[in-house]
Structure 1
Amino acid sequence: MVWKVEAEKWLNQEDLEVTLKRQLMIEEKNQGLLEDSFYRNLSFGTAGLRGELGFGTNRMNIYTVRKAALGLALYIKSCGEVAGNRGVVIAYDSRHQSAEFGLEVAKVLGFNGIRSYLFDELQSTPLLSFAVRELNTFSGIVITASHNPSEYNGLKVYGEDGGQVTLEAANAITAHTESIDDLFSVEVAEEAYLLEEGLLTYLNHEMSDRYVLHLDELFLSGPLDKNLSIVYSPLHGAGGKLVCRGLKVAGFSNVTIVSEQAIPDPEFTTVKYPNPEDPQAFEMALTYGHKVKADILIATDPDADRMGVAVRDSEGEYVFLTGNQIGALLLNTLLEDKSDRDAMPENGVVLKTIVTSELGRVIADKYGVKTMDVLTGFKFISEKILEFEKTPDSTFLFGYEESYGYLIGDFVRDKDAVQASVLIAEVAARYKANGQTLLDGLHALYEEHGFYQESLESITLRGKTGMAKIDEIVNYFRSSSFVKEFTQSLSTIEDYSSGHSIVVETGDRRPLDLPIANALKFILSDGTWFAIRPSGTEPKIKFYFGVQGETKFGSDALLVVLKTAVMTVVERLTSNLL
């Protein structure tokens, strides 16, 4: 078997990195682990790598990182000498080996004559995006696995606009990476040499200073109660300094930091899962919140591109908002503020993903603003912003996705938890000035537009067998067998793999104006919908659900019926694995 040959090659590698060598020798007899570590190469997805740390071609380690860095170097060199001279910005978060991987990338790029600008301490993903634009580099890299568990790390690649690389660029980088047969052959330069030759420059706090100057572009007008009480946790990640600076610049001084979680920690010791989408990540923030009677609790993930919020209700308890609810509140207040100031552009556009709530669309409609859907992944939002810059037809106003990612000011081109933290504080302060909370604001939106409700179910299927099962599930939902079996009334199927929308009753097909992707969306005759998408970064398949009812009770009932109908099929397909 091929994986055994590759494993033997690693075992016989004389100069294999010491820690990896030790781990490999300990696990030499663990056939299941060895197969999963070597059965494939860690794939370069839509914007980079992500995987568990460890030995093997299917893991994150210095060799797979070097190989990806060389793939990027070869791509940059193919774009001409000017591209190499413009260089690459590199940032890293608090995860295991992040700083080491960041330097390894610089050493590979430098060996190939490409300049690097490496942050001298951990920094957030949005600051990396900002720095690419500010320094006019050709590319950027951030070493992070976002909100994944501590055993993961990753590498995301950015284009010259500060957004994650386009599909075209990603495919070219992938091709160059796959052309490297021997990942042990990737050569690196020494740090001292790179510094001496000007091929490596360390970036300090000055870049953060420049970023903060842009935050005043986001501030709201009108009365705001800046005495709003805030508890904030960076969840042991890279967001602490910049979020705190942002809140201070915005005038919020009543901010309590969860001190235990302000310490960068690759093990995320105080939290089971460093994801602000998960209420469990707020356990310490809740304790702080009850102690100081905070109006809102804010948490950001390890690379500070996602933000979650909990709100104190009239009973003194905290209610967690979903990503869709946060997005609706941010969007409504932004558009209301622009309308009040007569600052709404005639060609304004809101961008959201195909699995994000339709509530955002009806809010935008109220203000005469167009909403455009893009594929799941914030890179597709940033690509649209770049398109808008090249034509006078559209002006970007706001972009968001249900997975707690938001962008307000386009001086960054990826989701930005720093911007979002500042703006949600301002929105809460605006409501507080009127004697209300974010919950009151959300209820008002539901009363005006309908009770939109969404849900997400994820199933993790690890290893080679799991990946095959994920493909099987997607293929079944794509088949006519599923359409015949499904008990709900289907109206339209959007198959992003074929690039077509299909009317179920007639079979009529029309093209979708979106890139090709392995995802499906099913729209029912009553307007409810569900979507299926394998994760691009984790061994998961995700099921998204969206309903709208005239009352909360009605939307709850619709959601239960829809989820039950879909997940019954899924449970049957996975019964032999779960």
Structure 2
Amino acid sequence: MTWRTSLDQWLSQLTDEDLVKQDIYNMTDEKQLEDCFYKELEFGTGGMRGIIGPGTNRINIYTVRKVAFGLSQYIKEQGEEAMARGIAIAYDSRHMSKEFALEVAKTVGGEGIQVYLFEDLRPTPLLSFAVRYMYAFAGVMITASHNPPEYNGLKVYGQDGAQLPPEDADVVLGFMKSAGTRLITEVAGERELLANRILVYIGEKIDMAYKQALQAIQLNEEKPERDLSIIFTPLHGTGNIPVREGLENFGFTNVTVVKEQENPDPNFSTVKSPNPEESAAFEIAIEYGLRVDADVLLATDPDADRLGVAVKNDSGEYVVLTGNQIGALMLHFLLEQKEKNGWLPRNGVVMKTIVTSELGRAIASSFGVETIDTLTGFKFIAEKINEFEETKEKSFLFGYEESYGYLLGNFVRDKDSVQSAVFVAEVAAYYKSQGKSLYDGLQELYKKFGYYKEITCSITLEGKDGAEQIDAIVEGFRNEQPSALNDISVTNVEDYAKNESLDILSGTKTSLDLPISNVLKYKLEDGSWVCIRPSGTEPKCKFYFAVKGESVEDANIKLAALQDVVLHGVKS
């Protein structure tokens, strides 16, 4: 099917009064029209995410309804009990989030499935919690996470409160495809669903239950330095109220909120990108921090599942920590305190993704704790948590990924910036009680375990041509695998699309025992590694670089050299 055929099919099904049809007619750029209709927006284990606009390759009420239709058929297939348990729906502060949430509710509710819809915006971790707390069969979060303002999307959750695993996502996708090119133009009415109690609005009760559950991650209620000076910015998203209340309940009252970024704003007007991974997102928070000499700066992304942290270095300048560094600080404090208090289980386990620093493994090993790697995506960490709960084989302690996502309390099954914010405050208070900062604590970890350093780089290639170029880049590495990088031998090649690990020296191939994914990872003789994968949510090819040095300077040199040789090959 050509993009023009797809366009014509949409136009034939839409009324002249439909705003989506009017948006199509207002487009004069043929290349833009082609990009809107040349393919269907991908739905996978991360849900669906895209630019808001008309067409099969955009987020709009029709692409949202199609996902909701697929999900509703998936639930109906499970029987009446699943339909009665229903779904929970939440939404963030983005353009059209509230409208899309209601479209999901009307589509699913119209199929006779119980719907619980949050009355106002909520963060992603609260949606995950709500699914479990209410014993719902599924959940939907309307968000595009930390993407630019023109994006929106939705994440789909299973009954465990985790994003759908690949096999279940494939079932939903199959039902979506069964609808063919038909647009769902008729859905149930909100008033009708409310009158029949199929649609129920929720809110405060869930909030209170989450706050109570949050207390379980506090390790020491009487720890000193509760006057820790904290600057917090929700970056115009959903984190404002839950993070502030969480900090207050943990005893942290010296908290200043960045006023310019306190209220929800779908345009994220004070930042180029509402992403706490980027230093620029902290610009205003740093100004606040300098005025009051704050101990720590905290920032959450729009749906409040990611947390960024900035602290002063030895020169008195605020520096934004990486996700790997934040995770290492949290992990070490967690294990140290549990061991000190006799709470560290013998079968405890830490989980991280394949692109997350090996510093975490070194820290866990020093406490006799096992570390397990998963594919990128917190759903895979959640999947392991579920497995261990059933088998009782291992006890979950901590899960994290380099992209600023962390989880301590498994009452949530996705990364949770509310948990992370209050726990980072705990860690900072602990170091302050010793006359140290979080930065000092990080340097201590490096001195003890080695100078691990990592960086992630992305090449952005938009549109149909860009998607083809991204595929070509990955396939290029797959077909012409390097034997050495910077004169350092490649010892192992992991191809997650083939589910195999190749030992270069022996030629032995072993199974990776992980789900299939279009990811390549090269391990080098000196312990460095490089990982390459297409982004599942943005038009980017992502490159992950990691080294271990004898000093900060040594690690920086190694990292720059590794980055240059790989990216030079791509650009050339």
Q: With the length of structure 1 as denominator, give the TM-score of the two structures.
A: 0.97
Q: Distance in 1 between matches of 2:16 and 2:120?
A: 27
Against the structure 1 CA distance between its residues 483 and 475, is the aligned structure 2 distance closer, same or farther, given a 3 Å change threshold? farther
Q: Distance in 1 between matches of 2:54 and 2:297?
A: 39
User: 1:185: how far off?
Assistant: 3.4
Output aligned runs, 1:220-239, within 5 Å.
Answer: 220-221=219-220, 223-239=223-239
Against the structure 1 CA distance between its residues 177 and 300, is the aligned structure 2 distance closer, same or farther, given a 3 Å change threshold? same
For 1:139, the equivalent position in structure 2 comes to 138
Is 1:214–1:411's contact at 8 Å kept on the other side of the alignment? yes
What SS class does the counterpart of residue 409 from structure 1 fall into? coil
User: 1:487: how far off?
Assistant: 5.0
For 2:278, the equivalent position in structure 1 comes to 278
Letter in 2 for 1:561: A
Q: Distance in 2 between matches of 1:550 and 1:513?
A: 33
For 1:23, the equivalent position in structure 2 comes to 23
Against the structure 1 CA distance between its residues 503 and 14, is the aligned structure 2 distance closer, same or farther, given a 3 Å change threshold? closer
Against the structure 1 CA distance between its residues 518 and 293, is the aligned structure 2 distance closer, same or farther, given a 3 Å change threshold? same
Q: Distance in 2 between matches of 1:253 and 1:316?
A: 24
Is 1:406–1:420's contact at 8 Å kept on the other side of the alignment? yes
For 1:419, the equivalent position in structure 2 comes to 419
Output aligned runs, 1:493-532, within 5 Å.
Answer: 493-532=493-532
Q: Distance in 1 between matches of 2:125 and 2:430?
A: 25
**CA offset digits 1:114-161 (Å, max 9, x no partner):** 011000000000000000000000000000000000000001000101
Against the structure 1 CA distance between its residues 535 and 166, is the aligned structure 2 distance closer, same or farther, given a 3 Å change threshold? same
What SS class does the counterpart of residue 90 from structure 1 fall into? strand
Letter in 1 for 2:540: K
Q: Distance in 2 between matches of 1:351 and 1:216?
A: 22
Output aligned runs, 1:203-218, within 5 Å.
Answer: 203-218=202-217
User: 1:20: how far off?
Assistant: 2.2
**CA offset digits 1:278-332 (Å, max 9, x no partner):** 0101111111111121111100000000000000235432111000000000000
Letter in 2 for 1:261: Q
Q: Distance in 2 between matches of 1:453 and 1:185?
A: 49
**CA offset digits 1:140-191 (Å, max 9, x no partner):** 0000000000000001000101000111100100111111113423531000
For 1:549, the equivalent position in structure 2 comes to 549
Residue 73 (str. 1) matches residue 72 (str. 2) = yes
Q: Distance in 1 between matches of 2:144 and 2:131?
A: 20
Letter in 2 for 1:459: I
What SS class does the counterpart of residue 355 from structure 1 fall into? coil
Letter in 2 for 1:388: F
Residue 346 (str. 1) matches residue 374 (str. 2) = no
Letter in 1 for 2:361: R
- Where structure 2 has 5 or more consecutive residues not aligned to the other structure, the ranges are none
What SS class does the counterpart of residue 185 from structure 1 fall into? coil
For 1:159, the equivalent position in structure 2 comes to 158
Residue 325 (str. 1) matches residue 325 (str. 2) = yes
Q: Distance in 2 between matches of 1:556 and 1:224?
A: 36
Higher alpha-carbon deviation: 204-213 or 308-317: 308-317
Count of residues in correspondence between the two structures: 571
For 1:430, the equivalent position in structure 2 comes to 430
For 2:371, the equivalent position in structure 1 comes to 371
User: 1:209: how far off?
Assistant: 1.0
What SS class does the counterpart of residue 148 from structure 2 fall into? coil
Against the structure 1 CA distance between its residues 494 and 190, is the aligned structure 2 distance closer, same or farther, given a 3 Å change threshold? same
User: 1:26: how far off?
Assistant: 1.6
Against the structure 1 CA distance between its residues 136 and 491, is the aligned structure 2 distance closer, same or farther, given a 3 Å change threshold? same
User: 1:2: how far off?
Assistant: 1.3
Higher alpha-carbon deviation: 13-22 or 409-418: 13-22
Q: Distance in 2 between matches of 1:115 and 1:2?
A: 38
User: 1:350: how far off?
Assistant: 0.1
**CA offset digits 1:388-435 (Å, max 9, x no partner):** 101121000000000000000000000000000000001000000110
List, as ranges, runs of 4+ consecutive aligned residues in structure 1 with deviation greater than 6 Å.
none
Is 1:108–1:186's contact at 8 Å kept on the other side of the alignment? no
Residue 461 (str. 1) matches residue 461 (str. 2) = yes
For 2:119, the equivalent position in structure 1 comes to 120
**CA offset digits 1:446-492 (Å, max 9, x no partner):** 00010000011101111111111111111111114544898541100
Q: Distance in 1 between matches of 2:184 and 2:143?
A: 25
For 2:179, the equivalent position in structure 1 comes to 180
Q: Distance in 2 between matches of 1:48 and 1:115?
A: 21
What SS class does the counterpart of residue 392 from structure 2 fall into? coil
Letter in 2 for 1:131: A
Q: Distance in 2 between matches of 1:565 and 1:314?
A: 31
Q: Distance in 1 between matches of 2:100 and 2:487?
A: 50
Against the structure 1 CA distance between its residues 300 and 481, is the aligned structure 2 distance closer, same or farther, given a 3 Å change threshold? closer
Percentage of identical aligned residues: 53
Against the structure 1 CA distance between its residues 481 and 430, is the aligned structure 2 distance closer, same or farther, given a 3 Å change threshold? closer
Q: Distance in 1 between matches of 2:482 and 2:430?
A: 48
- Where structure 1 has 5 or more consecutive residues not aligned to the other structure, the ranges are 573-578
Letter in 1 for 2:555: S
Higher alpha-carbon deviation: 516-525 or 6-15: 6-15
**CA offset digits 1:8-61 (Å, max 9, x no partner):** 23334442664323321121x311101110001111121311000001000000
Q: With the length of structure 2 as denominator, give the TM-score of the two structures.
A: 0.98
